[in-house]
A and B are shown apart, each in its own frame.
Chain A
Amino acid sequence: MKPIIEIRDLYFKYPEDENYAINGLSLDIPEGSFSVVLGHNGSGKSTLAKHLNGILLPTSGSVTVGGIDTRDEERLFDLRSSVGMVFQNPDNQIVSSIVEEDVAFAPENLGLPSDEIRARVDDALRLVGMYDYRLHSPHLLSGGQKQRVAIAGVLAMDPRVLVLDEPTAMLDPVGRREVIETLIKLCRETGISVVLITHHMYETVSSDLVFVMSDGKLVTKGSPSEVFSKAETMKAEGLTVPDTTELINQLIKAGMTLPLGAVSAHDCALAIASALKKDA
């Protein structure tokens, strides 16, 4: 697959800081994939997110999204409309007191004709399953619902990439599941590329690619099972592995023969069951 996002030797330093927040990062994100960027607090993952639609510009190196260099000021709005950004706090990204008017905000900014805006708003709300709430007031919705409205709000720009910076950090478990399931569905059904930035391990389970960041650098990357089989590396970076992987690691230490890298509960159960059958 052709990469939709290409990052080459990215260095970035906040003006008031001495250290580089991003310290020589290069990575490719394939078009249509569900990619996760993992990292503990201060690993530079949110700074990376802000580079993807030109809110922050590289100190050196380059970021190219869908063929647009983020430093190209002429195409800043093309870039922003092709990269939908969703942030942590749903309250601070909803502009209007009516759900459908909030979703219409971005296409209105793009200067689209009214009937086109109406069509996009309805589509976006249906995709995230919030169509029935279109006339509600956002402050009466749950956290997960608000975050889905925020996702619809950027989907209405018809972006090629959806970047989410810790979208579940302020949500309860139900809200988290709603949001992650919506993202997986969007990625699989519409073919939009999703870049999820998080520190919750279990959100990586159904992803295609995992990038682990620490101190502004890429530590490791690969499929979830590849990444989590390196449990020691993950722990060294201050990240825990999913419970399933941890269980398998402990069982291997205790002397069982098991394949590493069973990340989902289903795979984990199958692996343990087949190992138990062999032993019996």
Chain B
Amino acid sequence: MLKDITLGQYFPGESLLHRLDPRTKLICTFIYIIALFFAGSYISYGTLILVLFLCAAISKIHPSAFFRGLKPVVFIIVFTAILNLFYTKTGRELFGFWGLSVTTDGVKIAVFMVIRIMLLISSTFLLTYTTTPMSLTDGVEQLLSPLKKLHVPVHEFAMMMSIALRFIPTLIEEADKIINAQKARGADFETGKLLDRAKALLPLLVPLFVSAFRRADELAIAMESRCYRGGVGRTRMNNLVFAARDFITMGFFILLFTFIVVILRLGL
């Protein structure tokens, strides 16, 4: 029952997007998201939509994956749209009821808002769909490494992240075993009110926590036995290296950003 939990789902592939350096993808996603907040016209939104479609096409990931990703946020999208629709007072009034009015500007802003949220989410999905969690962690560690000078424990955070990712399947497997063992003894996880179900999870969480601590202890001893002593003096087998395609991609996204800002300035 827990098997279908996915975190940072990755679709294996060989496309250009898959082969890009994780740092490039992180930087470009970041640029894209900032550009989204500078966008405010048909031209800029159109460009951004076009770029996302282009990237999605290059990645060869089925469009349905993106719709599935958007499903959990439908409520937020609808809510934002309604708020923007009714709370924008400028523009020509189209119609009104119960003292609320819908204006042309309201419709425009609502539509832009919906597009903005959808692009925001889809672009981050594109990142996790084409990058393994491990290389994502590596990328974050490398990008944040200048912060080490300020005594931010960047290596430690990255290590924690990758160990967490490593143990997700192990712990899910274990939770499944505990659930089955308790079901065999008559525990009921699937019926009853929400509160009852939450209570039924307690006897699952306690052994899971105890075992997670035991695992952590054993893992720490195993890591020490393999000469782990933190990030100092540590080297990597696969060093991240920027290739030509990384520079070209970053150049493209910087151009995109400049274009969006110029359009904003010109008021187009």
Contact = CB atoms under 8 A, between A and B. Distances in A.
Interface in A74-93: 77, 80-81, 83-85, 87, 89, 91-93
B139 interface: no
Given A80-B225, A95-B219, A109-B228, A121 B162 contact: no
Contacts of B227: 77, 80-81, 106, 109-110, 157
B145 to A, nearest CB: 15
Contacts of B238: 101, 104, 114
B115 interface: no
Given A77-B227, A80-B226, A106-B227, A95 B163 contact: yes
B225 A85 contact: yes
A188 interface: no
Contact of B226 (A91, A98, A105, A118): A105
A139 B169 contact: yes
Nearest to A79: B227
Contacts of B224: 55, 80
Interface residues of A, number: 41
A111 B235 contact: yes
A97 B226 contact: no
Given A87-B218, A96-B166, A157 B226 contact: yes
A125 interface: no
Interface residues of B, number: 29
B180 interface: no
A89 B211 CA distance: 12
B236 A93 contact: no
Which label, helix, strand, loop or mixed, suits the secondary structure of the B interface?
A: helix
Interface string B165-182: 110011001000000000
A153 B218 contact: no
A117 interface: yes
Contacts of B225: 53, 55, 80, 83-85, 154
Nearest to B159: A95
B132 to A, nearest CB: 8
Interface in A132-168: 137-139, 153-154, 157
B162 A114 contact: no
Given A55-B225, A91-B215, A157-B227, 16 more contacts: A53-B225, A55-B221, A80-B225, A80-B227, A87-B218, A93-B219, A95-B219, A96-B166, A97-B134, A101-B134, A101-B237, A105-B226, A111-B233, A114-B236, A138-B166, A139-B173
The 8 closest A-B pairs by CB, nearest first: A93-B222, A92-B218, A104-B237, A106-B226, A85-B225, A139-B169, A117-B237, A109-B227
